[in-house]
Structure 1
Amino acid sequence: MTHRRLERFTPMERFSRWLVLLIVVAAIVVSTRHVQIIPEFLADAPSQMLDLLNRLWPPDLSYYQQGVHEALMETLHIASLGTILALILALPVALCSARNITSNPILLVFAKLVLVSSRSVNSLVWALLFVAVFGPGTLAGVLAIAFRSVGFVGKLLGEALEEVHMGSVEALKATGAPATSVLLKGYWPQVKPALWSIALFRWDINVRESAVLGLVGAGGIGIALNNALNTFYWDKVSTVLLSIFAVVIAAELVVTQIRKRII
């Protein structure tokens, strides 16, 4: 009587698993060598971190009204205006990127290129570009947030348009309805919840991203943070960081409540 030996993986699968593990280990080793980690700095890091925490505490709460509140409101305005502008710019791009709406291949490729270009450039890089063009201030921050958000909003909205049920759309086309009616009556009711969700989610992200734009001169709370860091007022730095943290938590709560009521 012969006994069959059951194995979880075939020899080829075991070889593939070991090969993947070897590649991952090799990538970690090569990356670590190029990062140039200095062991002395690692050994000294805990004491340096403890010293930094001691300098950050207690925070100078009186600094909030003097130099934080106005900059914090400016950050919220940058995030809100940037999100609204991104929605306006992303809508036509999303329509052009949806294959069930746009049949022109050149227009499809151009729309995809716009979406990829927007997402591939970080918001700080956009801010640097617009600061160079328009000078320091909130305008550069609003444009940086908007151009960074176009790719995110346009991609998700375009995918939502491609996933709609075509029954009502085909029925409207069969009756000879114009293109605007097809969009408003066939597509819009199906993608409206997705659009609200995308807009709220992106605004939540933009509140976080706009908090650091001031580090490159694009307005907002980042300017107050940069000034406190440059002058080594660590108690003021702590106040700015706590304010950013509080606003991020508040934005998360607001978005959650709005989603429950609207979507």
Structure 2
Amino acid sequence: MTDATDHLTGDRIWTWRTPRHRLLLWAGWLGLVALFVFCWQVMTRGTIWAFVQDAPRQAADITDRMFPPALGYLPELMVPLWDTLNMATLGTMLGVVMAVPVAFLAARNTSPSPRLLRPLAMFVIVASRSINALIWALLLVAILGPGLLAGIIAIALRSIGFIGKLLYEAIEETDPRQIEAVTATGAGPAQILTYGIVPQVLPTFWGITVFRWDINIRESAILGLVGAGGLGLKLQASLNTLAWPQVTMIMIVILGTVVVSEWISARVRRALI
């Protein structure tokens, strides 16, 4: 906030920003608009606008073909649904096993080597979060072949960054007074970790784990598109044969699974936190 003088009355007028700040603000908005226009031109350079104009008619045609859903196809989805749930659950468990030590190495107050091990752990977290589960699955299917194993490992590798980041932040936010109290009893590093830090982060840990499991169910449902098994494999087969009623049934099953997992996740987090 600044002040200026009215030349007619001589009174001081308070303004929120100086003229220089207002000019910079308008220049910033102008630059943002110019950047948006430039990005829009780059993104739409190869767009065939005739297809865009015809998109509503095509969408209405596909929607008409998708209904009614193929209810008789539901029994064939039970085994792929079970595979999807197993992929999400086992992938989450494996991700937790790998993420917990990484989180303790990344936290400033628990890392044994802040100059060496902490940057390495942070790199693992960033690398895991930077690569999507579909990309992990593509690489692992090429290495291990198609199947659930590739999907489980892909889910686990993707989960390391999510769980590790939230967990190491929770470790750094622990109450130092409780740690000091445990230290004052003559406890060693392992006992300080067990009785001073772990009890404080345990509710957060379980909440993060359940939340990630909920996310992994959604991701594992589509990993079959790249050969990792589960519902995505059925979805890919139905799309390839243009079996739209089957696609609708698969989408309904995925939606129902996500809704149930979200309900379970919310109830568990409410009970833990």
- Note if contact 2:220-2:230 (Cα within 8 Å) is conserved in structure 1: yes
After superposition, give the CA deviation of every residue in 1:222-255 in whole Å (9 maximum; x if it has no partner). 0000000000101101111111111111111111
Partner of 2:5: none
Alignment of 1:223 with 2:240, yes or no, is: no
Q: What is the TM-score normalised by the length of structure 1?
A: 0.96
1:196 to partner: Cα distance: 1.0
Deviation >4 Å, runs of 4+: none
Match of 1:151, SS state, is helix
2:107 aligns with 98
> What SS does the aligned partner of 1:218 have?
coil
Question: Which residue of structure 1 aligns with residue 6 of structure 2?
Answer: none
State how far apart, in whole Å, the 2-side matches of 1:81 and 1:88 are.
Answer: 11
Q: Does 1:129 align with 2:136?
A: no
- Provide the identity percentage: 44
> For 1:1-263, what aligned pairs fall within 5 Å after superposition?
1-35=9-43, 36=45, 37-66=47-76, 68-104=77-113, 105-263=115-273
SS of aligned partner of 1:9:
coil
CA apart distance, 1:19: 2.0
Tell me which moved more, 86-95 or 8-17.
8-17
Consecutive unaligned residues of structure 1, counting only runs of 5 or more, are none
> Cα gap change, 1:7/1:168 in structure 2, threshold over 3 Å: closer, same or farther?
closer
Q: Find the residue that maps to 2:229 and give its secondary structure.
A: coil
RMSD over aligned CA atoms reads 1.3
- Secondary structure, counterpart of 1:29 in structure 2: helix
Deviation, 1:130, is 1.0
